Amino acid sequence: MWRFANPAIFYDLATTASPWAAGISLLLLGLGAYLGLFVAPPDYYQGEIMRIMYVHVPAAWMAMFCYGVMAVSSASGLIWNHPLAYVAAKATAPIGMVFTAIALITGSIWGKPTWGTWWSWDARMTSVLILLFLYLGYIALWNAIEEPVRAARTTAILALVGAVNLPVIKFSVDWWNTLHQPASLMRADAPAIHSSMLMPLLLMALGFTVFYIWLLLLRMRGEILARRVRGLRLARVQAGQN
In the complex, minimum distance from the CB of residue 151 to other proteins, in angstroms, rounded to a whole number: 17
For 166-175, letters b (16+ CB in 10 Å) and e give bebbeebbee
| Comparison of 72 and 101: residue with beta carbon closer to other proteins | 101
First to last CA, the chain: 40
Residue with smaller CB distance to other proteins, 177 or 181:
181
* Choice between 27 and 232, CB closer to other proteins: 232
State whether the Cα torsion 12-18-20-21 is positive or negative.
Answer: positive
Least distance CB 62 / other proteins (angstroms):
11
For residue 103, the one-letter residue type is A
Bridge partners (DSSP) of residue 47 are: 43
Q: Looking at beta carbons only, is 59 or 123 nearer to other proteins?
A: 59
- Residue 49 vs 198, nearer CB to other proteins: 49
Where would I find the beta strands (DSSP E) of the chain? Answer: none
Residue 46 or 178: the one with the smaller Cβ distance to other proteins is 46
Count CB neighbours of 144 within 10 A: 11
Helix, strand, coil % in the chain, rounded to nearest 5: 80, 0, 15
What residue ranges bind other proteins (CB under 8 A)? Answer: 33, 37, 47-49, 51-52, 55-56, 59, 94-95, 98, 101-102, 105-106, 109-110, 112-113, 211, 215, 218-219, 221-222, 225-226, 228-229, 232-233, 236
Q: Which residues have CB under 8 Å from 151's CB, separation 6+?
A: 141, 142, 144, 145
Q: How many CB atoms are closer than 10 A to CB 85?
A: 21
The nearest distance, CB 33 to other proteins, in angstroms, is: 7
Q: How far is the CB of 189 from other proteins (least distance, A)?
A: 29
Q: Minimum CB separation from other proteins for residue 69, in Å?
A: 15
In the complex, the smallest distance separating the C-beta of residue 32 from other proteins, rounded to whole angstroms, is 11
